[in-house]
Amino acid sequence: MQIDKVISFIKSQKNGFFLIEVKTDMQSEIIENESQVSFFQKQYEIDSSFFSLKPEDTSKSISIDQIRKLKREFLHTNVLDLNKIIYLKEINNLNNNSINALLKIIEEVPLKTYFIFCTQNLLKVPETILSRARIIRVEDHNVSIAKNLSSLLKLTIDQNQNISDDIISSIFNPFINSKASDFFETFKLFDKNNVKLPSEIFLKILSFNLGQNLDNPKLFKYLIKLHSDFIYDVDESIKFNTLTNDLIAIYFTRLNSNLIKYGK
């Protein structure tokens, strides 16, 4: 099943625990982005609660305390009748204790609550989990970049109400429309302390294109180098307190021009 159809199917259900078998990290990332966009609601200035379950910084696995916290703070009574999505990129990051704690939650999933878990190795998932999940396999991961970037654009606008829609759109549109564009001046609208958003957008766009150009060795090699250079330069700039909007704008310009040059 294609990713967009997977998300549509899940949303058509009243609730559930869904385990999606994916082939790459890129597919997992697309599923996460598509889920946020598809289920997004706005009510009383509170968004549709999307909870990304991931190991804590000091651990490689998800602990039982995290599952307990999820249940205590997130899966409370849904008084606003909003969707609740719990996303997990790799279910095999759960340890035995967290699995046992999770089993008690997924026995009876509340209405409008969706557990969307992914895995790249279905064979390692315990039978106790498999027997309770609705298993979906992603068959075709060639979802168009334009569609996914459009979804990411909508999500980014929804999550950044304090930033003009036009500014955020100007970052995405050159890539969505595949047109050369000089948006260097636009980035100057961001002050030095607000480069986090365009930096994250840049890496998201780069990741989308990496996943879509596995069969284009020349472009793929270029994207890998661009990604590596960007991470290094940002780290160095932060270290010496010299990070500027110009740095990010330069990488955006390089990315866009080379996608047009080599990507078609």
Asked whether residue 174 falls in the same domain as residue 239, the answer is: yes
Average pLDDT, stretch 65-90?
Answer: 81
Angle in degrees, CA 178, 181, 183, rounded to 5 = 130
Range of the domain at 193: 145-262
Residue 55's pLDDT is what?
87
Query: Predicted confidence band at 220 (pLDDT cuts at 50, 70, 90)?
Result: confident
pLDDT tens-digit map of 147-185? 678 888 887 888 777 788 888 888 888 888 766 556 666
Query: Predicted confidence band at 2 (pLDDT cuts at 50, 70, 90)?
Result: confident
List for the chain the helix, strand, coil content (%; round to 5): 55, 10, 30
Q: Choose one of 114, 137, 160: the last residue of a domain.
A: 137
Asked whether residue 98 falls in the same domain as residue 150, the answer is: no
Asked whether residue 55 falls in the same domain as residue 20, the answer is: yes
The full length of the chain comes to 264
Asked whether residue 163 falls in the same domain as residue 235, the answer is: yes
Answer yes or no: is pLDDT of 10 > 90.
Answer: yes
111/116 Cα distance (integer angstroms): 14
Q: Write the CB contacts of 211 (distance below 8 Å, at least 6 apart in sequence).
A: 24, 26, 27, 29, 30, 141
Asked whether residue 111 falls in the same domain as residue 160, the answer is: no
Q: Choose one of 118, 137, 156: the last residue of a domain.
A: 137
Asked whether residue 133 falls in the same domain as residue 151, the answer is: no
Residue 228's pLDDT is what?
83
Asked whether residue 129 falls in the same domain as residue 193, the answer is: no
Asked whether residue 160 falls in the same domain as residue 249, the answer is: yes
Please indicate whether residue 3 or residue 145 has the higher confidence score (pLDDT): 3
Asked whether residue 115 falls in the same domain as residue 175, the answer is: no
Percent of the chain with pLDDT over 90: 19
Asked whether residue 20 falls in the same domain as residue 129, the answer is: yes
